[in-house]
Amino acid sequence: MVQIILLCMVFTCVSAMQAQMHRYLLSSKWGPVGYKEVEDPTQKTAMDEIIKANEFMASRVIDGTTTLREGDIAVSTGRRSKVCFARSCQWAKSVDGHVYIPYKISPDYSEMDIKLIKKGMENIEKGTCVRFVPRTHQRDYIDIQAQSGCWSYLGARGGKQTVSLQNPHCVQVGVISHEFMHVLGFVHEQSRFDRDNYVTVMWPNIWRDRLRNFEKFKTENLDLPYDFGSIMHFGKYAYSQDGEPTIVPKNNQRMKFGQTEHLSHIDKMKINKLYKCDDDDF
């Protein structure tokens, strides 16, 4: 009888703790750990949706050798994967001036999902020399899968490389375009080594287990200005632990960060400069 009573007490305590944690993780104020629900729709970014999906629905550990950095960049142990503006990380350019990226889409997606994925591809293609083509025999290609979370490897790795677009949380045009920008070799905008000239990272407001997501890297900026409106920019409240901003602009406090759906003009300029696209190739 004593054992039964003790078991009941333990069960009651565990249930109470689970309920409390469930309320904490799902409350309208906090949302999933590291995510602040942005009330103003004009302030939302594609990265906000990625954080929401990856923090709540996915794991930062993809498999035994691959983890996520900066929230959605897949990094494998022992492989150079951070600074990918280098030419070795680019996709090959064809003799006709286009950069063809072969792709394969999982049959697990619905017809509507596939339309949205292709819309994300069109976002990249419009005004650039990049073209996504169904894979036939190509050795290097992206394999779009409905795995756990939204993530991609950085740049061309060689052979098959997975792009995860979990259904339905990641099958949004802006999220898809963001991940395809990683495929092309672009890191998050606020990772630029000169970012402190333009934004202030509010370190005390960041969830302590996600501080590494705000590191700077010495990437080539292609002689282009800092792009507050890049689809690759974190939102103002990315990984906030207390509902306060984690990134603020230095000069104009009303400056909007990021995009929800489309690439910025400078995003397209980045693609064209990195891949040396000519106007005739658009």
Binding residue numbers for Zn(2+): 178, 182, 188
- Residue 257, phi-psi category: left (phi > 0), alpha (psi -120 to 50), beta (remainder): beta
- What CA–CA distances, in Å, run from 238 to 48, 52, 177, 248? 7, 10, 19, 11
CA distance 261 to 178: 9
The answer to whether the beta carbons of residues 184 and 124 sit under 8 Å apart is yes
Catalytic center residues: 179
- What CA–CA distances, in Å, run from 240 to 33, 129, 210, 215? 8, 37, 9, 15
Structure tokens at 65: 């050798």
Structure tokens at 269: 């300029």
